[in-house]
Amino acid sequence: MTKLTFLIIFICIPVISSSKQHSCTIIPPPLFIFGDSFFDPGNNNFINTSTLDRANFWPYGRTFFHRPTGRFSDGRLISDFIAGAGALPQTFQGLVIDLKTQLKYYKREIAELRRKKGSAQTARISSTAVYMFSIGTNDYISPFLLNSSVLATYPHSRYVDMVTGNLSTVVRAIYRRGGRKFMFLNLGELGCAPGLRILKPERQGGGCLEEASDLAKLHNKALNKLLSKMEQKLHGFKYFLYDFRTSLAQRITHPYKYGFREGKKACCGIGRFNGIFSCGGKRPVKEFNLCENPSEFVYWDSYHLTEKAYKQMADQMWIIPPTEPNSLRRLFTCY
């Protein structure tokens, strides 16, 4: 059985100033990263899946690593910068590692840590760790890409409840094993990804696919409510929620303001907006265009962002001071 390798990374963080209200000292927390291709450093390389769900071929990785690593970008991801998969089991079933399967691997990892380090040290690792989640994108775009009837079977609100319910189950399971500090991304305007824009008839102006974006809005509202409820009911539960939706929308709408030239079209792909998922020529459609300078683009391929976009977002997360209530840095300090 394929084993998902969690990133357990100890980080050195610059000294953070103290105040009368907050006395912050640095702790070196490990990171446990759960999620989809926005965070995946290449785990899909090791499962029996198709090239539609892999990025272990050129030109992926060309900007920073100068070789493919399995990351769905030209370089590093948000999780790479912070460190220095779908929530529903039926989402792309057999092609990606779903969230509950990732939980099984996490439990296995904790059991192995307990065997090697003992219960006390494992408890310390669990309680000081930061658990990073990027979940939901696959669940909401797969019905459009696979011509699935799931959105006709369930009301949209019910489908969103299924996705966030699975996320809640996993987070609570981690909490029961000592996890206390969590980071989440909300969902971007899914219908504005090049791969979904092309599903809207060209005669309608090539705008965003509203149904997909509306699902993301419902998800974000439900996620806000879920995390607020957990914070109230679970003692010691702390979280940081990054507004990925607003950040991405700003770069799509005003690319020049953020140092990009193109906010709607992908760097790598073919067709309108380079939205056909052909980057690298290893997928069903072999032809693809490749831009000369990925740093001029928000989108790297039909669904994923460039390293430059991810770095800007990671920097934006990290700049929020730990004294603010919604701060990533406060998860890396004790006070």
**Amino acid code (one letter) for 213:** S
Residue 334 has a pLDDT of 57
Q: Is-contact 249 313, C-beta < 8 A? A: no
At residue 326, does pLDDT exceed 70?
A: yes
Q: Is-contact 276 300, C-beta < 8 A? A: no
- Angle at CA 196, nearest 5°, toward 225 and 165? 25
Please give the mean pLDDT across all residues of the chain: 85
- Sort strands 31-35 and 130-134 into parallel, antiparallel or unpaired: parallel
Percentage of residues in the chain having pLDDT higher than 90: 61
At residue 51, does pLDDT exceed 80?
A: no
The residue range of the domain holding 104 is: 31-262
Q: Is-contact 307 299, C-beta < 8 A? A: no
| Per-residue pLDDT reduced to its tens digit, 104-117 | 888 888 888 889 98
Contact partners, residue 120, CB within 8 Å, separation at least 6:
none
Q: Is-contact 28 11, C-beta < 8 A? A: yes
Residue 2 has a pLDDT of 27
At residue 21, does pLDDT exceed 70?
A: no
The answer to whether position 278 is within a domain reads no
At residue 174, does pLDDT exceed 70?
A: yes
Residue 9 has a pLDDT of 43
CB atoms under 10 Å from CB of 213, counted, come to 21
How confident is residue 196, by pLDDT bands cut at 50, 70 and 90?
very high
The answer to whether position 185 is within a domain reads yes
Of 1-10, 88-97, 283-292, which has the strongest mean pLDDT?
Answer: 283-292
Of 50-64, 82-96, 220-234, which has the strongest mean pLDDT?
Answer: 220-234
d(CA 204, CA 196): 14
The answer to whether position 88 is within a domain reads yes
Query: Which residue, 271, 149, 251, 252, is CA-closest to 198?
Result: 271
How confident is residue 316, by pLDDT bands cut at 50, 70 and 90?
very high
The predicted model scores a pTM of: 0.87
- Angle at CA 148, nearest 5°, toward 143 and 153? 100
Please report which residue ranges of 129-193 form alpha helices under DSSP H.
137-145, 150-153, 156-176
Of 172 and 2, more confident: 172
Q: What is the mean pLDDT of residues 138-161?
A: 92
Residue in 126, 219, 304, 327 annotated catalytic: 304
If one counts the domains in the chain, the total is 1
How confident is residue 137, by pLDDT bands cut at 50, 70 and 90?
very high
Residue 84 has a pLDDT of 77
Residue 194 has a pLDDT of 97
Q: Is-contact 274 268, C-beta < 8 A? A: yes
The answer to whether position 216 is within a domain reads yes
At residue 130, does pLDDT exceed 70?
A: yes
d(CA 76, CA 72): 9
228 an active-site residue? no
Residue in 142, 213, 301, 327 annotated catalytic: 301
The answer to whether position 256 is within a domain reads yes
Residue 49 has a pLDDT of 60
3-class secondary-structure state, position 202: helix
How confident is residue 15, by pLDDT bands cut at 50, 70 and 90?
very low
**Amino acid code (one letter) for 192:** C
Residue 92 has a pLDDT of 35
Q: Is-contact 244 251, C-beta < 8 A? A: no
At residue 197, does pLDDT exceed 50?
A: yes
The answer to whether position 321 is within a domain reads no
| Per-residue pLDDT reduced to its tens digit, 222-281 | 999 999 999 999 999 999 999 999 999 999 999 999 999 999 999 999 999 999 999 999
| Per-residue pLDDT reduced to its tens digit, 280-294 | 999 999 999 999 999
The answer to whether position 310 is within a domain reads no
- CATH code for the domain in which residue 119 is found: 3.40.50
Contact partners, residue 308, CB within 8 Å, separation at least 6:
259, 260, 294, 295
126 an active-site residue? no
At residue 335, does pLDDT exceed 50?
A: no
Percentage of residues in the chain having pLDDT higher than 70: 84
The answer to whether position 7 is within a domain reads no
Residue in 37, 168, 247, 278 annotated catalytic: 37
Q: What is the mean pLDDT of residues 51-66?
A: 91
d(CA 279, CA 253): 24
304 an active-site residue? yes
